[in-house]
Structure 1
Amino acid sequence: MTDNTLARARVAALIFVMVNAVVFGVGLVTVLSVPALSEHAFFWIPVVVLASFPLSAPLSWLVAPTMMMRFMRASHFVHARPLR
């Protein structure tokens, strides 16, 4: 595992909980706002809870580089050669 991949995995692990909360919230709002799903909420809400975990992992992996961009730009300027 390269340093970049390890850093990406760490950032993805940190933001996993936040992404999971957003995915769960979107699913819950969808279930409660659609009348056909709302009638069977006792079934669909646990489905949303269980589905939010595996959906959040790849989404966290995709969002992680965006979260790392600010740090990468800052470290690039710190390690860059000074102008003369």
Structure 2
Amino acid sequence: MSNRFRIAALVYMMTNAVLFGIGMVSIMTIPALARNAMDWVPMAVIASFILAAPIAWWIAPRLRARYWRHRDGDVISGPSTATDNP
């Protein structure tokens, strides 16, 4: 398995939860959708399962450390190790 697939598998679960939450909030707050919630909730579940996969696949490479390097070879530094105390 590639690293991208492993990262995408982990991101998939979080992406699925976020998309499902957005769908449920939309269904419950829009009166026209809330009236037929029994029909819309299964659609939100299915849509979140389907849409989460390509979104997770797109996000995965951006979570790798190699992505955050500058093109000229400089690495973005992490937190400073210097202390403010004299």
* TM-score bracket for the superposition, by shorter chain length: 0.7 to 0.9
Q: Distance in 1 between matches of 2:63 and 2:29?
A: 31
Say yes or no: does 1:28 pair with 2:24. yes
Report what 1:81 is aligned to.
Answer: none
Q: How many residues align?
A: 70
Pick one of 26, 42, 48 that aligns with 1:46: 42
Q: Name the aligned partner's letter for residue 43 of structure 2.
A: V
Distance in 2 between residues matched to 1:30 and 1:63, nearest whole Å? 24
TM-score by length of 1: 0.74
CA RMSD, 1 decimal: 1.9
**Deviation (angstroms), 1:9:** 1.1
2:6 to 5, 10, 25: 10
Q: Distance in 2 between matches of 1:45 and 1:67?
A: 31
Question: Which residue in 2 is equivalent to 1:67?
Answer: 63
The code of the aligned residue for 1:63 comes to I
- 4+ residue runs over 6 A deviation: none
The alpha-carbon deviation at position 14 of structure 1 amounts to 1.1
Output the CA distance in 2 between the equivalents of 1:34 and 1:22. Answer: 18
Higher relative contact order (CA 8 A, sep 6+): 1
Q: Which runs of 5+ in 1 are unaligned?
A: 78-84
Q: Percent identity?
A: 43
User: Greater helix percent: which structure?
Assistant: 1
- Counterpart of 2:54 in structure 1 is 58
Unaligned runs of 5+ in 2: 76-86
Structure of greater Rg:
2
